[in-house]
Amino acid sequence: MRIAYIECFSGISGDMTVGALLHAGIGEDLLQETVAALNVGAELRIRRVDRSGICATKVDVLVNGKVADRVDASENVHPHHHDHPHAHDHSYNHAHSHGHDHDHHDGRTDHRERRSLSTIKNIIGKADIPASPRGMAIRAFELLGEAEAGVRNVPIDSIHFHEVGAVDTIVDIVCASVGCHALGVDRFICSPLNVGGGTVKCAHGEFPVPAPATLVLLKGIPIYSSGIRSELVTPTGAALVRALDCSFFAFPSMNVESVGYGAGSREFDGRPSVLRISVGELTNVAEKPSDAHLRPDVTLVGPTLSTSLQVI
């Protein structure tokens, strides 16, 4: 069985996932063509960076030649009927974001165009990309919308995404979906997710990490905190893990063929801000997921996981 093992020891975000896929061998041309097919005025800037002495691939989304605001899904979601004077209901102001920068919130009223979930699904549906990754990308956005609507207690149709943030998130999710399918694996297996710590400030109060919608997306998934006071798992990253229907194990017995490191935007002392993806053949028949393990509501953690993990 050919697998991809995703290691989230420093969390996961959309851009980290795309970077790791590129580093593992997915062609840049494929993803640039994917972005062009979306017809949202965006392109990818791809470069190699150093993260704690490790070479990793960093991906930025450019909109009209400029780096898009690195706001993640729940930050740029806005219930259409809500009259709060700020730009976002979920607006971070902490200094230590992970895959995305959140330093643009200054309390000013924001009247930028917003895109509804149905509009975003229509953009993805019209794009000239294969059916399987298109379906995965749409499912990821549906998961995001459902989580946001649930924590806000509003209809899913009222969820809207800010224009620039929506473009950034669309590109991350669609490119990750196309890249994951291009790996040609039978199954995605994931480590438990390091969610980080600290708090995030929302419009109506301060909440601990994981943020409310992220925690909804992480239901049934093994998570822990290493103590870093930063949001390590973004809503987009959580939605991608869910949309991939990952199983959860410690590092499996496998013949590794390629390895990719995707860089986050921040660096931490003593811990590289990267996501690692290893691709190869599963070698231990006993570790092959059974039909029961493939159900999305069932997660398994291998017996070699450390008992010192701090479970949230």
Give pLDDT < 70 ranges for the chain.
69-113, 163-165, 203-204, 285-312
Tell me whether residue 293 is in a domain: no
Whether the pTM exceeds 0.85: the reply is no
Tell me whether residue 62 is in a domain: yes
Instruction: Quote the pLDDT of residue 64.
Output: 83
Instruction: Quote the pLDDT of residue 103.
Output: 32
Tell me whether residue 304 is in a domain: no
Total structural domains within the chain: 1
Instruction: Quote the pLDDT of residue 128.
Output: 97
Tell me whether residue 305 is in a domain: no
104 closest CA partner among 68, 73, 61, 80: 68
Which residue has tokens 């092959």? 288
Give me 24's structure tokens: 């593992």
Tell me whether residue 300 is in a domain: no
Instruction: Quote the pLDDT of residue 254.
Output: 96
The CB-based long-range contact list for 213-216 (8 Å cut-off, 24+ gap) reads 213/73, 213/74, 213/77, 213/90, 213/144, 213/147, 213/148, 213/150, 213/151, 214/74, 214/147, 214/238, 216/147, 216/150, 216/151
Tell me whether residue 237 is in a domain: yes
What is the C-alpha separation between 174 and 240, in angstroms, rounded? 10
Residue pair 171/40 in contact by the 8 Å Cβ criterion:
yes
Q: Could you give the angle at the alpha carbon of 216 between the alpha carbons of 213 and 218, nearest 5°?
A: 115
Instruction: Quote the pLDDT of residue 114.
Output: 79
Tell me whether residue 7 is in a domain: yes
What is the residue range of 80's domain?
Answer: 2-287
Q: In 10 A of CB 32, how many CB atoms?
A: 14
Instruction: Quote the pLDDT of residue 165.
Output: 62
Burial 212-240 (b: 16+ CB within 10 A, else e): bbbbbbbeebbbbbbebebbbbbbbbbbb
Tell me whether residue 127 is in a domain: yes
